[in-house]
Amino acid sequence: MKIFLVTDETHLSLFMQELFKGTAEIQVFPVSSLLDAIHNASPDAKLIIGVLLPSEDDWEKFRQIRSCTCSCYLMLGRAVTFEDVKRANQIGFKEILIDPFLSLKPLLQKSGFLPFQNQSFTDRNSDSQLIYLGRNTYFHSTELWVGCNKTKRPLSEREADLLKLFLRYEGKVLTKGIIAKELWNDQVDQGGISKLVKRLREKLGVKELIEGRKQGGYIFKAEN
Protein backbone atom coordinates (compact mmCIF):
# COMPACT_ATOMS: atom_id res chain seq x y z
CA MET A 1 0.00 0.00 0.00
CA LYS A 2 1.19 3.51 -0.82
CA ILE A 3 0.30 6.47 1.38
CA PHE A 4 0.88 10.03 0.29
CA LEU A 5 0.99 12.17 3.45
CA VAL A 6 0.63 15.91 2.98
CA THR A 7 1.55 17.78 6.17
CA ASP A 8 3.84 20.38 7.67
CA GLU A 9 3.78 18.62 11.05
CA THR A 10 7.08 16.89 11.81
CA HIS A 11 5.57 14.75 14.58
CA LEU A 12 2.90 13.40 12.24
CA SER A 13 5.23 12.39 9.43
CA LEU A 14 7.59 10.66 11.90
CA PHE A 15 4.78 8.89 13.70
CA MET A 16 3.04 7.68 10.54
CA GLN A 17 6.30 6.34 9.12
CA GLU A 18 6.95 4.47 12.35
CA LEU A 19 3.38 3.22 12.54
CA PHE A 20 3.37 1.80 9.01
CA LYS A 21 6.98 0.62 8.92
CA GLY A 22 7.14 -2.59 6.89
CA THR A 23 3.46 -2.49 5.91
CA ALA A 24 3.14 0.58 3.70
CA GLU A 25 5.29 2.92 1.65
CA ILE A 26 4.84 6.52 2.81
CA GLN A 27 5.80 9.60 0.84
CA VAL A 28 5.62 12.93 2.65
CA PHE A 29 4.88 16.26 0.97
CA PRO A 30 4.56 19.74 2.53
CA VAL A 31 1.11 21.32 2.30
CA SER A 32 2.47 23.80 -0.25
CA SER A 33 3.13 20.82 -2.57
CA LEU A 34 -0.37 19.33 -2.36
CA LEU A 35 -0.75 19.36 -6.15
CA ASP A 36 2.51 17.41 -6.55
CA ALA A 37 1.20 14.73 -4.17
CA ILE A 38 -2.08 14.56 -6.08
CA HIS A 39 -0.32 14.16 -9.42
CA ASN A 40 1.99 11.44 -8.05
CA ALA A 41 -0.70 9.41 -6.29
CA SER A 42 -1.90 6.36 -8.21
CA PRO A 43 -5.59 5.31 -8.10
CA ASP A 44 -4.86 2.53 -5.58
CA ALA A 45 -2.98 4.83 -3.17
CA LYS A 46 -4.26 6.72 -0.14
CA LEU A 47 -3.77 10.48 0.17
CA ILE A 48 -3.90 11.92 3.69
CA ILE A 49 -3.80 15.65 4.38
CA GLY A 50 -2.72 16.30 7.96
CA VAL A 51 -3.58 19.84 9.06
CA LEU A 52 -4.13 20.30 12.79
CA LEU A 53 -6.28 23.40 12.69
CA PRO A 54 -7.43 24.25 9.13
CA SER A 55 -7.80 27.93 8.24
CA GLU A 56 -10.13 29.26 5.56
CA ASP A 57 -7.17 29.31 3.16
CA ASP A 58 -6.51 25.65 3.97
CA TRP A 59 -10.10 24.66 3.22
CA GLU A 60 -9.86 26.49 -0.10
CA LYS A 61 -6.62 24.67 -0.92
CA PHE A 62 -8.21 21.32 -0.06
CA ARG A 63 -10.48 21.74 -3.10
CA GLN A 64 -7.51 20.68 -5.22
CA ILE A 65 -8.18 17.06 -4.26
CA ARG A 66 -11.11 17.04 -6.69
CA SER A 67 -8.57 16.23 -9.39
CA CYS A 68 -7.18 13.30 -7.40
CA THR A 69 -7.91 9.77 -8.62
CA CYS A 70 -7.26 8.03 -5.28
CA SER A 71 -9.09 8.02 -1.95
CA CYS A 72 -8.43 11.21 0.04
CA TYR A 73 -8.61 11.66 3.80
CA LEU A 74 -8.39 14.72 6.03
CA MET A 75 -6.57 14.34 9.36
CA LEU A 76 -7.26 16.90 12.10
CA GLY A 77 -5.64 17.50 15.47
CA ARG A 78 -8.87 18.27 17.34
CA ALA A 79 -12.42 17.03 17.76
CA VAL A 80 -14.37 16.87 14.50
CA THR A 81 -17.30 19.28 14.21
CA PHE A 82 -20.47 19.03 12.11
CA GLU A 83 -19.12 21.90 10.00
CA ASP A 84 -15.91 19.92 9.35
CA VAL A 85 -17.93 16.94 8.12
CA LYS A 86 -20.10 19.11 5.90
CA ARG A 87 -17.18 20.89 4.27
CA ALA A 88 -15.13 17.71 3.89
CA ASN A 89 -18.03 15.96 2.15
CA GLN A 90 -18.54 18.89 -0.21
CA ILE A 91 -14.87 18.89 -1.16
CA GLY A 92 -14.71 15.14 -1.67
CA PHE A 93 -12.83 13.66 1.28
CA LYS A 94 -13.72 10.04 1.93
CA GLU A 95 -13.36 10.39 5.68
CA ILE A 96 -12.03 12.65 8.45
CA LEU A 97 -9.36 11.12 10.68
CA ILE A 98 -7.95 12.26 14.02
CA ASP A 99 -4.18 12.52 14.41
CA PRO A 100 -3.36 9.11 16.00
CA PHE A 101 -0.50 10.53 18.02
CA LEU A 102 -2.92 12.65 20.06
CA SER A 103 -4.77 9.64 21.47
CA LEU A 104 -1.90 7.14 21.51
CA LYS A 105 0.81 9.29 23.08
CA PRO A 106 -0.08 8.52 26.74
CA LEU A 107 -0.11 4.76 26.02
CA LEU A 108 3.18 4.92 24.15
CA GLN A 109 4.81 6.88 26.95
CA LYS A 110 3.68 4.37 29.60
CA SER A 111 4.95 1.46 27.54
CA GLY A 112 8.27 3.18 26.93
CA PHE A 113 7.73 3.10 23.16
CA LEU A 114 8.07 6.61 21.82
CA PRO A 115 10.53 6.73 18.90
CA PHE A 116 10.78 10.53 19.12
CA GLN A 117 10.73 10.85 22.90
CA ASN A 118 11.60 14.54 23.09
CA GLN A 119 8.91 15.63 20.67
CA SER A 120 5.41 16.49 21.70
CA PHE A 121 2.14 16.64 19.86
CA THR A 122 3.38 19.48 17.67
CA ASP A 123 7.11 19.05 17.98
CA ARG A 124 7.60 21.67 20.71
CA ASN A 125 11.37 21.50 20.48
CA SER A 126 11.42 22.50 16.80
CA ASP A 127 10.23 25.54 14.91
CA SER A 128 6.57 24.48 14.87
CA GLN A 129 4.33 27.52 15.12
CA LEU A 130 1.07 25.91 16.25
CA ILE A 131 1.38 24.01 19.53
CA TYR A 132 -1.38 21.88 21.02
CA LEU A 133 -1.71 22.43 24.77
CA GLY A 134 -4.74 20.22 25.51
CA ARG A 135 -8.50 20.63 25.89
CA ASN A 136 -8.83 21.96 22.34
CA THR A 137 -6.44 24.79 23.18
CA TYR A 138 -3.57 25.83 20.91
CA PHE A 139 -0.70 28.29 21.14
CA HIS A 140 0.56 30.06 18.02
CA SER A 141 4.14 31.03 18.81
CA THR A 142 4.56 33.64 16.06
CA GLU A 143 1.09 35.18 15.87
CA LEU A 144 1.03 35.16 19.71
CA TRP A 145 -2.44 33.85 20.53
CA VAL A 146 -4.00 31.00 22.45
CA GLY A 147 -7.37 29.35 21.90
CA CYS A 148 -8.89 27.59 18.93
CA ASN A 149 -9.68 28.56 15.34
CA LYS A 150 -12.91 30.37 16.27
CA THR A 151 -11.71 31.92 19.53
CA LYS A 152 -8.24 33.41 19.55
CA ARG A 153 -7.06 35.30 22.62
CA PRO A 154 -4.03 37.52 21.91
CA LEU A 155 -0.98 37.31 24.14
CA SER A 156 1.46 40.06 24.98
CA GLU A 157 5.11 39.30 24.20
CA ARG A 158 5.78 38.80 27.90
CA GLU A 159 2.84 36.37 28.27
CA ALA A 160 4.02 34.45 25.20
CA ASP A 161 7.57 34.29 26.57
CA LEU A 162 6.22 32.93 29.85
CA LEU A 163 4.19 30.25 28.04
CA LYS A 164 7.24 29.22 26.02
CA LEU A 165 9.17 28.95 29.28
CA PHE A 166 6.45 26.73 30.76
CA LEU A 167 6.65 24.52 27.67
CA ARG A 168 10.41 24.17 28.13
CA TYR A 169 9.83 23.08 31.74
CA GLU A 170 6.76 20.94 31.02
CA GLY A 171 6.18 18.52 33.92
CA LYS A 172 8.95 20.12 35.96
CA VAL A 173 8.89 22.74 38.71
CA LEU A 174 9.35 26.26 37.36
CA THR A 175 10.29 28.55 40.22
CA LYS A 176 9.66 32.28 40.38
CA GLY A 177 13.44 32.68 40.57
CA ILE A 178 13.86 31.02 37.15
CA ILE A 179 11.01 33.09 35.68
CA ALA A 180 12.57 36.29 37.04
CA LYS A 181 15.98 35.42 35.60
CA GLU A 182 14.71 34.26 32.18
CA LEU A 183 12.17 37.02 31.53
CA TRP A 184 13.40 40.01 33.51
CA ASN A 185 17.08 39.32 34.17
CA ASP A 186 16.16 39.27 37.88
CA GLN A 187 14.78 42.83 37.69
CA VAL A 188 11.24 42.11 38.95
CA ASP A 189 9.46 41.54 42.24
CA GLN A 190 7.51 38.40 43.17
CA GLY A 191 4.18 40.21 42.81
CA GLY A 192 4.88 41.04 39.17
CA ILE A 193 5.48 37.37 38.40
CA SER A 194 2.26 36.30 40.14
CA LYS A 195 0.25 38.84 38.13
CA LEU A 196 1.77 37.65 34.85
CA VAL A 197 1.00 34.00 35.64
CA LYS A 198 -2.57 34.95 36.57
CA ARG A 199 -3.10 36.78 33.26
CA LEU A 200 -1.72 33.83 31.30
CA ARG A 201 -3.98 31.38 33.14
CA GLU A 202 -7.01 33.54 32.37
CA LYS A 203 -6.18 33.69 28.67
CA LEU A 204 -5.52 29.96 28.47
CA GLY A 205 -9.02 29.40 29.85
CA VAL A 206 -7.81 26.12 31.37
CA LYS A 207 -6.36 26.87 34.79
CA GLU A 208 -5.42 23.21 35.32
CA LEU A 209 -2.64 23.55 32.75
CA ILE A 210 -0.61 25.63 35.22
CA GLU A 211 -0.58 24.28 38.78
CA GLY A 212 0.68 26.38 41.67
CA ARG A 213 2.72 24.56 44.33
CA LYS A 214 2.48 25.17 48.08
CA GLN A 215 6.24 24.77 48.23
CA GLY A 216 6.58 27.54 45.64
CA GLY A 217 6.73 27.72 41.88
CA TYR A 218 4.51 26.21 39.21
CA ILE A 219 4.17 23.07 37.11
CA PHE A 220 2.88 23.16 33.54
CA LYS A 221 1.06 19.97 32.55
CA ALA A 222 -0.22 19.80 28.99
CA GLU A 223 -3.13 17.42 28.48
CA ASN A 224 -1.84 14.51 26.37
pLDDT above 90 covers a percentage of the chain that reads 44
Q: Higher-confidence residue: 104 or 1? A: 1
| pTM greater than 0.85 | no
Average pLDDT over residues 19-36: 91
**Least confidently predicted of 31-45, 87-101, 114-128:** 114-128
pLDDT surpassing 80 at residue 148: no
| Residues 12-25 pLDDT 10s | 888 888 888 889 99
| Residues 160-190 pLDDT 10s | 999 999 988 888 899 999 999 999 988 888 8
Q: Higher-confidence residue: 112 or 200? A: 200
pLDDT at 115: 43
Q: Taking all residues of the chain, what is their mean pLDDT, rounded to a whole number?
A: 83
Average pLDDT over residues 58-82: 90
Average pLDDT over residues 138-164: 85
How distant, in Å, are the alpha carbons of 8, 9, 115, 222 from that of 26? Answer: 15, 15, 17, 30
The structural domains of the chain, ordered by start, are: 2-111 (3.40.50.2300), 130-220 (1.10.10.10)
pLDDT class of 116 with cuts at 50, 70, 90: very low
pLDDT at 46: 95
pLDDT class of 206 with cuts at 50, 70, 90: confident
d(CA 163, CA 220): 9
